[in-house]
Amino acid sequence: MNTNRDSTPLRKQCGAEFIATAFLLIAIVGSGIAADRLSGGNQGLALLANAAATSGALFAIILTFAPTSGAHMNPAVTLVAAWSGNFAWKNVFPYALAQVLGAVLGTWIAHGMFDLEILEISSHTRTGAGQWLAEFIATVGLLGVIRGCAAYSVPTAAAAVAAYIGGAYWFTASTSFANPAVTIARSLTDTFSGIRPADVPAFIGAQLMAAAAIGLMLRAKAPKDRP
């Protein structure tokens, strides 16, 4: 996941992050809309469909874009990659920008497919200490899985991340956003997967605290592991 081919030009890498993150949001927001419409009011059934669709799409998207850009699709992932010395710091902002812009575009495409207004603002309240703890745990887990699976093949790592996120939709109280770009984009949809703009900063704060925790841990370990 932290692959960073120096031979691929940054422009092409950022293009891959842009398209990959757009597809990720099409999957998250789109399946949320369909699940909510079709599930007859049963939120459990809707979340089951939303989680399965996100997990399946994530597996395919990671495999497709990993060779080009590492398929981060997540500023927290990019930050930890830089912190642990596997990614150039100067490329963090371009990556994060491509991820956020792609995420917003993907949300809008989902709206277009489902005949909704393109521009929306979410009214879905997601706040409180439990949810913030959930975002911290969800992000620590995601970053830990990515780090722990870096030694396996790309398909294995992709399967691990997809399985983890599919599970984390259920086992965290926040349905596991675990991604600042995704969080920003989901504030722009007033559907199943939305989050009120007012609740975004705390979510991103928890996610970045998790990134810092994992990043510091990796930096502390680095001197011992790689002399």
Pull the structure tokens for residue 54: 């996100």
How many alpha carbons fall within 13 Å on the CB side of residue 170?
14
Of 84-123, binders to a second copy (CB under 8 A) are: 109-110, 112-115
Binding segment toward a second copy, per CB under 8 A, in 82-90, 93-101, 141-149, 198-206 = 141-149
**Separation CA 169–CA 89 (nearest Å):** 31
Contacting a second copy (CB under 8 A), which of 1, 3, 18, 47?
47
Of 165-184, binders to a second copy (CB under 8 A) are: 166-174
Contacting a second copy (CB under 8 A), which of 7, 90, 151, 227?
151
Of 184-203, binders to a second copy (CB under 8 A) are: none
Contacting a second copy (CB under 8 A), which of 10, 63, 92, 202?
63
Which among 135, 98, 37 is positioned nearest to 106, based on CA atoms? 98
Pull the structure tokens for residue 210: 């998790």
Q: What φ, ψ does residue 212 adopt, rounded to 5°?
A: -65, -40
Contacting a second copy (CB under 8 A), which of 4, 8, 64, 127?
64
How many alpha carbons fall within 13 Å on the CB side of residue 92?
16
**Separation CA 101–CA 99 (nearest Å):** 6
Q: Which is nearer to a second copy, 89 or 148 (CB)?
A: 148
38 counts as binding a second copy under rule CB under 8 A: yes
